[in-house]
Structure 1
Amino acid sequence: ALDFIDPDKLSMTVVLTAMNRFLNEDNGLQMAFLDGNQPDRICKPMKKYIEARGGRVLTGQPLQAIDVDSATGEIAGLRMRSGEVVTADEYISAMPVDVLKRLVPERWSTLPYFKQLDELEGIPVINLHMWFDRKLKNVDHLCFSRSPLLSVYADMSTTCKEYYDEQRSMLELVFAPCSPIAGSPVNWIAKSDEEIIDATMGELARLFPTEIAADPTWPSTLSQGPDGQARLRKFAVVKTPRSVYAAIPGRNKYRPSQETPIPRFTLCGCFTSQKFLGSMEGAVLAGKLAAEVVACRAAGEPTQGVKAVEETVTHAAGTMAPRKPRGVIGNDAVAFGGGSSLTSSAADELKAFDPAQLVPLG
């Protein structure tokens, strides 16, 4: 469950960090759930808050490039695909590391700060939403699985207000590790939704032998005994080909500070340097740290400064040729580091900018 990666590949720093949080913080073992879906419960209130204070939230406007002042090397604006150039007093990037690497301007590419991003890459994860025709036995908590395919899951019909149902279960599961990058012998990102759900149903049948029914729709359940009655009504498969950074040994030292060597340009995102893992918690903390950088600059107060870069990276940056940004291809969520039900058009876009994700294996 930690970082969606095979335990044998995972850095022990991640495990020790998690244990430290669990043991040393009040309510460290508590798990919190939103009482509904993220767009309504998080995004809409944030948008309302910003707009009430004179701000604007622009959506559906893909970024084409980061413009740089030819004289100073500082950021000059954000060039949108529409051709519009957005200028600001301060710029904060919350892009995932894989997307950011595709947009680093040529002028910045030889700076050690940005060169170190080459050492970080996001790993795939698959989220499953599964609706059953009856209630399964469950606990009101996030559960760690004994399955090599399913890392964590929760019955949202019990844990979440919006999905509450006393008669039928709705499971949300994390299917990981799901690709060779994360240590899986099978590239599940390249598999069909039906293949993924069949494998999941087989694992659920193994974990809950007295509950899951033998269902011809899902061949992996056919060895089930007569006690199992629960059948799958519907499902959704959401694939995120590049999610949190791969926390393999030795990567933590390459996580950049929120402050960058470029004036008025700040980073956030869970891959940046902060005490939490690559996670939602890490993303929130990184956002707060980025806001502190901007606030200190606005108030004329000293900041924490830019985190030192490894000497090996500095040497490599000094000998490399500048790289032109590759840019982002496509319009689907996966092109910008998000998750999506992988339609044929989204799969075509993924094949264009990240073909390794769709190479069949196993």
Structure 2
Amino acid sequence: MEQLTRRTVLKAVGVGVAVAGTTLVVPSLTGPAAKAVPPTGGGRGRGVAIFGGGMSGLTVAHELIERGFAVTVYEPAFLGGKARSMDVPNTAAGGRLALPGEHGFRFFPGCYQHVPDTMQRIPVGRGGNVKDTHLINVEGAVIALDEAGYAPITVPQSVNGFVEHASAMVSLENFRNALTTSLKIVGDIPPHELAYFVTRELIIATSCQERRIGQWEEQSWMEFVKARGKSSAYQKYLVSALTRATVAAKPDLGSARTIGQIGLALVTSATGLISQYSGTIVGGGVDRVLNAPTDHAWINPWVDYLRGRGVQFVMGQGATAFDVSGGQVTGVQVSGTSGSTTVTADHYVAAMPLDKLKPLLRPDVLAAAPSLAGIAELQDDWMVGIQYFLSRRSDVPPSHIASLGTPWALTGLFQAGPWDVDFGRKYGDGRVHDCLSIDISDWDTPGILYGRTAKQCTKGEIAKEVWAQMSRAMNRGSTPILRESEVVSWHLDPGITWSPTISNETPLMVNTAGSYRYRPTADTAIPNFFIGGDHVRTNIDLATMEGANESGRRVANAILDASGSNAERVAVHPLWELPFLDPFKQTDRDRYRAGLPHIMDV
């Protein structure tokens, strides 16, 4: 290919942006993908012990039980991990179900491929499956900027969404709010800064994999978009709030490669140009949720299916030590409600969260698999949810809520609408008619009521602070959306406890710049020992259900190789990118190898 000039690249990228933004129906394309690292291992045997019954562990069990393996899952607490939902204690009355609590509301972007595929293979009802029965589109979004002069606006996420909810989106109130917010943000974020931000994302889109790993992985997203010296609104909304709302990452810590790639995947899925992604700007599907509590819609049917296929579940038992001898795991010590014992199997899978895995990597384990020492460098953080049960059903169309700029980085979802349920008839004691489920992403920034971080507050103070922050952002228009008088009760994730001091039983791994080198692969130097979880090196490389599911698939493939199985390997999907970007990536590859910067990196 002939050398491309900077002007040629910029012109072509501009054409690409125009194509990506069109609302025309364009035939789907199949894009190129990064190749997965091939698994290694040796030996035979079909007995598998999985330690951890979360997203990764259940995925390993699913793939291996369908391929003739004998699988046992050991789980100390709850199946489903951080994806699970739970009953709020003592809230069921009159034949109704208990009010639904959860670790945090579930979000399934259109670029997710592994989780929907697994859902499609879980039967429910009369010939249905979880994906087709319970995974639905959310066609709207509420954007609320937490600053005076802004007003919350409801925007469609697809043409179909606009048509379906036109009455709410073209109302005088929403039009006034949109005009107010648009004028304010144009004044707060200079046009050249907005253009610069878009250019930085285009740099990611046209960078070769070598530069992404070798250069952008080593920079935080905040460094990459060069937030320092830019306007306050650029830093607060474009860089920080938008990142937290869409990818649940910290812009000052997360790698530019990971945040940039997932941002690109979210935008690409909306174009409808990649057949492997669900959703289009016309038909919707870019943003999806379950239409019922997670356990009811997904986890319970999944476990029932696995049990029916022969998976054994040992509850109340968790791994306490891996016994290693002669370069192999010879057994795993477990303890719990039924005492202590040693588990033996042909293959062992550590599918437990990062904070539970780290203490078990003793010197003998690391001596046999030195690369696992990098796990100690990985970090986790807090991100949990709170639910407010309301006496009135919300008038907001089914929408995700992004409260941009709130100190605790809040996002939310009214659940009665997307669930299409009469809350008063189905849940609680008849007084509750909606649930506002909110994720708290920042536990280290002072709030607006008490001037303390979430980690410094009591349980009741957290509930009051979250409501105050969400209300301040949502009620800046002329008509309030949230009314405190409508709160019947609330429920905070029970993983947060205060005995003797505040702690979190379910922290979430947080992506950090440069962490790629520390992430383990699914297979290890110990030929019968495997690692699953969202801390494993995957294509998405972000703490998500999708990443955990992908890691479980990689574990299954590694065990198939280690056992010498001739079963079909499990599908592992890349983050697909638009094919027309390939020539620009090749040009960048040539420049990177020559020690030159990206052609647009000025």
Q: Is this a same-fold pair by TM over 0.5? A: yes
Looking at structure 1, the residues matched to 474 and 292 of structure 2 have their Cα atoms a distance apart, in angstroms, of 27
Offset of residue 165 of structure 1:
6.6
In structure 1, distance between residues paired with 2:554 and 2:264: 21
Q: Is the 8 A contact 1:125 1:241 kept in 2?
A: no
Question: Which among 508, 514, 535 is matched to residue 244 of structure 1?
Answer: 508
Structure 1 residues 43 and 14, CA gap change in structure 2 (3 angstroms): same
| Deviation of 1:33 (Å) | 1.8
Question: What is the correspondence of 1:171-250 to structure 2 with a 5 Å cutoff?
Answer: 171-179=436-444, 186-209=452-475, 210-211=479-480, 228=483, 230-238=485-493, 239=496, 240=504, 242-250=506-514
Secondary structure of 1:57's counterpart equals strand
Q: Residues 303-325 of structure 1: CA distance to partner in whole angstroms, max 9, x if unpaired?
A: 9xxxxxxxxxxxxxxxxxxxxxx
Cα deviations across residues 288-345 of structure 1 (Å, max 9, x unaligned)?
Answer: 11111112222357x9xxxxxxxxxxxxxxxxxxxxxxxxxxxxxxxxxxxxxxxxxx
Identify the residue that residue 256 of structure 1 maps to in structure 2: 520
Query: Per the alignment, in what secondary structure is the counterpart of residue 364 of structure 2?
Result: helix
Find the counterpart in structure 1 of residue 365 from structure 2. Answer: 108
Q: Relative to total residues, which structure has the larger strand share, 1 or 2?
A: 2
In structure 1, what is the Cα distance between the partners aligned to 2:248 and 2:422? 25
Preserved CA contact (<8 Å) 1:132 1:170: yes
Question: Is the CA contact 1:68–1:105 (under 8 Å) kept in the aligned structure 2?
Answer: no
Query: Secondary structure of 1:173's match?
Result: strand
User: Residues 340-351 of structure 1 correspond to what in structure 2 (within 5 A)?
Assistant: none
CA distances 1:205-260 after superposition (whole Å, capped 9, x unpaired): 212323367xxxxxxxxxxxxxx575211111113455332212111222111111
Does 2:375 align with 1:117? yes
CA offsets 1:268-305 (integer angstroms, 9 cap, x no match): 1111001111111111111111111112222357x9xx
Q: What do residues 102-140 of structure 1 show as CA deviations (whole Å, max 9, x unaligned)?
A: 111330234431110111021111211111121233232
Other-structure match for 1:16: 260
Distance 2:357 2:290 in 1: 28
Following superposition of structure 1 onto structure 2, how do residues 61-100 of structure 1 map, counting pairs within 5 Å? 61-69=317-325, 72-81=326-335, 82-100=339-357
Paired with 2:474 and 2:278, the residues of 1 have a C-alpha distance of 30
State the AA in 2 paired with 1:100: L
Change (3 A) 1:117 1:14: same
Q: Quick check: 2:374–2:517 contact (8 Å CA) kept in 1?
A: no
Match of 2:34 in 1: none
Structure 1 counterpart of 2:150? none
Give 1:59's match in structure 2, choosing from 315, 320, 329: 315
Instruction: Compute the TM-score of the two structures, normalised by the length of structure 2.
Output: 0.43
The one-letter amino acid of 1:89's match is: D
Point out 4+ residue stretches in structure 1 off by more than 4 angstroms.
2-5, 161-167
The alpha-carbon distance between structure 1 residues 126 and 177, as it changes in their structure 2 partners (threshold 3 A), is same
2:409–2:441 contact (8 Å) kept in structure 1: yes
Give the Cα separation in 2 of the matches to 1:131 and 1:106: 49
State the SS of the aligned residue for 1:134.
coil
CA contact (8 A) 2:422 2:433 kept: no
In the alignment, what sits opposite 2:294? 38
- The higher relative CO (CA closer than 8 Å, separation ≥ 6) is in 2
Tell me, in whole angstroms, the C-alpha distance in 2 between the residues paired with 1:119 and 1:229. 43
Would you say how many aligned residue pairs link Structure 1 and Structure 2? 283
Q: 1:148: which partner in 2?
A: 407
Q: Secondary structure at the match of 2:539?
A: coil
Question: After the TM superposition, which residues 310-321 of structure 1 pair with which residues of structure 2 at under 5 Å, given as runs?
Answer: none
User: Whose Rg is larger?
Assistant: 2
Check conservation: 1:258, 1:267, Cα contact below 8 A. Answer: yes
Contact 2:247 2:262 in 1 (8 A): no
User: Runs of 5+ in structure 1 lacking a partner?
Assistant: 214-227, 304-362
Aligned AA (1:85): T
Q: How many percent of aligned residue pairs carry the same amino acid?
A: 20
Letter in 2 for 1:118: A
> What RMSD over aligned residues (CA atoms) do the two structures have, in Å?
2.8
Distance 1:161 1:286 in 2: 33
Which stretch shifts more, 58-67 or 262-271?
58-67
Q: Which residue is equivalent to 1:128?
A: 386
Distance 1:283 1:163 in 2: 33
Give the Cα separation in 1 of the matches to 2:247 and 2:375: 18
Question: What is the Cα deviation at residue 41 of structure 1?
Answer: 3.0
| 1:195 CA drift (Å) | 0.8
CA contact (8 A) 1:3 1:247 kept: no
> How far apart are the structure 1 equivalents of 2:524 and 2:390?
48
Q: CA deviation at 1:39?
A: 3.0
Which structure 2 segments of 5+ residues have no match? Answer: 1-243, 270-276, 280-284, 426-431, 446-450, 497-503, 570-602
Name the structure where helix makes up a greater proportion of residues. Answer: 2
Q: Name the CA shift for 1:117/1:34 in 2 (closer, same or farther; >3 Å).
A: same
> Which amino acid in the other structure matches residue 396 of structure 2?
N
Would you say the 8 A contact 2:403–2:470 is kept in 1? no
Contact 2:247 2:263 in 1 (8 A): no
| Deviation digits for residues 165-210 of structure 1 (CA, Å, limit 9, x no counterpart) | 7983211111111137xxxx95413421211111111112212323
Conservation of the 8 A alpha-carbon contact between 1:134 and 1:230:
no
Match of 2:419 in 1: 160
TM superposition shift of 1:64: 2.3
User: Which whole-Å CA distance do the structure 2 matches of 1:165 and 1:159 have between them?
Assistant: 15
Partner AA of 1:194 in structure 2: G
